[in-house]
Amino acid sequence: MNFLPVTDESLKKGAEIIKKGGLVAFPTETVYGLGADAFNPQALARVFEVKGRPHFDPLIIHIAAVRALEETADLSILDSKNRKKLFMLADNLWPGPLSIVLPKNKKIPGIATAGLETAAIRFPSHETAQKLISLSGTAIAAPSANPFGSLSPTKAEHVRDGLGGKIDLILDSGPSQIGLESTVLDLTCENIKILRSGGTPREDIEKLIGAVSVEKESEDEHGLSSPGQLKKHYSPKTPLFVFNREEIINQPAEASCATRERIALLFFDGSTREAWRKTQKPLKIAVIKVLSETGDIKEAASNLFEILHEIDNSNISKIIAQLAPQSGLGEAVNDRLIRGSVK
């Protein structure tokens, strides 16, 4: 396995590997992706194998130009109202953290879409992702570059720790700016639905195409319209418990002493941490972290997975985390925290 900074040369090398059916981890603005040629079933099979990803969980297909939609989707099947909405979304929100589920082009092998007749397609804004796709001369199917179910990788080092040795190349370009996966939007039905909340807030979509519904969580693979919506997902190794602002302020630190647990408290903002401090006498908490000192939701989202990775590597026995305000990107942050938590 090679671990290389992004340069013209390493990008060319990456593209050659993709063309030959190999696997390349690369940065995107959401999280690091594990890329393979979207038209090569053997390469796609390796993606599932390396991640330990169940075959019922379809991959997102990445393109580097809106016109590449024609090769990956079959827009002739899409109803005309939704086709208009597709282009409204593509004109305004692409490139960016939005994956759109469309009828799939026949050339996309079934293994990419878990046998579904639809494919989730995304045009990422990260320059490296765009260059890698263009140089490869194909579309790149890429799930997050982590073992299935675990924390998503927002740095090249996270990919190395999780999958190193199993893949051909990791392209390193520092931390992901958004740090949360893309929003997945299903345009194949009359009732347009967010299947997974993510880096594009619901409000941004609704401004363009009107109200959309949000898929409720599902327990298992049966009847899932978005299999990544498994109830338990994005999990740190350390048990995670989530609370709202009022609840976390009153979390006693003493419990950690009695049981000799090493607890990490993860606050959404600095003001909640300060309110919590006032309720505590001696502080026994092992680790105190804050997603954003000022309560900036974008900063909080981009720090989420990185801080959870850090806590996971610090011999902590329990994480107590505060939920974000439930609006804008807060919906996606809370989705990840709740799915990663112990029920």
Binding stretches for ligand AMP (CB under 6 A)? 57-58, 60, 101, 113, 116, 118-120, 143-144, 181, 184, 195-196, 225-229
Nearer to Mg ion, 72 or 144 (CB): 144
> Considering the complex, what minimum distance in angstroms separates the CB of residue 259 from ligand AMP?
35
Q: Considering CB distances under 5 to 8 angstroms, the limit depending on partner class, which of ligand AMP, Mg ion, none binds residue 194?
A: none
* Partner from Mg ion, ligand AMP, none contacting 60, C-beta within 5 to 8 A by type: ligand AMP
Rounded to the nearest 5°, which phi and psi values hold at 96?
A: 170, -175
Residues 6+ apart with CB under 8 A from 148: 51, 52, 53, 54, 57
Of the pair 14, 58, the CB lying nearest Mg ion is at 58
Which range touches Mg ion (CB under 5 A), out of 46-54, 139-147, 301-309, 332-340? 139-147
Question: Nearest-CA neighbor of 120 among 137, 152, 143?
Answer: 143
The listed partner (ligand AMP, Mg ion, none) that binds 58, CB under 5 to 8 Å by sort, is ligand AMP
Minimum distance between the CB of residue 233 and ligand AMP, rounded to whole angstroms? 8
Cα distances (angstroms) measured from residue 233 to each of 12, 80, 95, 159, 330: 34, 35, 26, 17, 17
**144 lies in the site for Mg ion, by CB under 5 A:** yes
Which of 213, 247, 205, 243 lies closest to 88 in space, CA to CA? 205
To the nearest whole angstrom, how small is the minimum distance from the Cβ of residue 132 to ligand AMP? 16
- Edge-to-edge, what's the strand order for the sheet holding 60-62? 2-5, 169-172, 24-26, 33-37, 140-141, 60-62, 118-122, 98-103, 183-186, 193-196, 213-214
Q: How far is the CB of 235 from ligand AMP (least distance, A)?
A: 13
Q: From ligand AMP, Mg ion, none, which one binds at residue 113 (CB under 5 to 8 Å depending on kind)?
A: ligand AMP
Q: Which residue's Cβ lies closest to Mg ion?
A: 144
Choose the one of ligand AMP, Mg ion, none that binds residue 178, judging by a C-beta under 5 to 8 angstroms depending on kind: none
- 150 interacts with Mg ion by CB under 5 A: no
Q: How far is the CB of 171 from Mg ion (least distance, A)?
A: 18
The four Cα atoms 265, 266, 270, 273 give a dihedral, to 10 degrees, of -30
Q: Please state the closest distance from residue 75 (CB atom) to ligand AMP, in A.
A: 15
- CA–CA separation, 204 vs 196, rounded Å? 15
CB of 292 to Mg ion, least distance (A): 23
Of the chain, the end-to-end C-alpha distance in Å amounts to 37
Residue in 172, 136, 106 with CA at minimum distance from that of residue 21: 136
Based on the shown chain and the rule CB under 5 A, indicate whether residue 138 belongs to the binding site for Mg ion.
no
State how far the Cα of 67 lies from the Cα of 149, in Å rounded to an integer.
33
The residue ranges that bind Mg ion (CB under 5 A) are 144
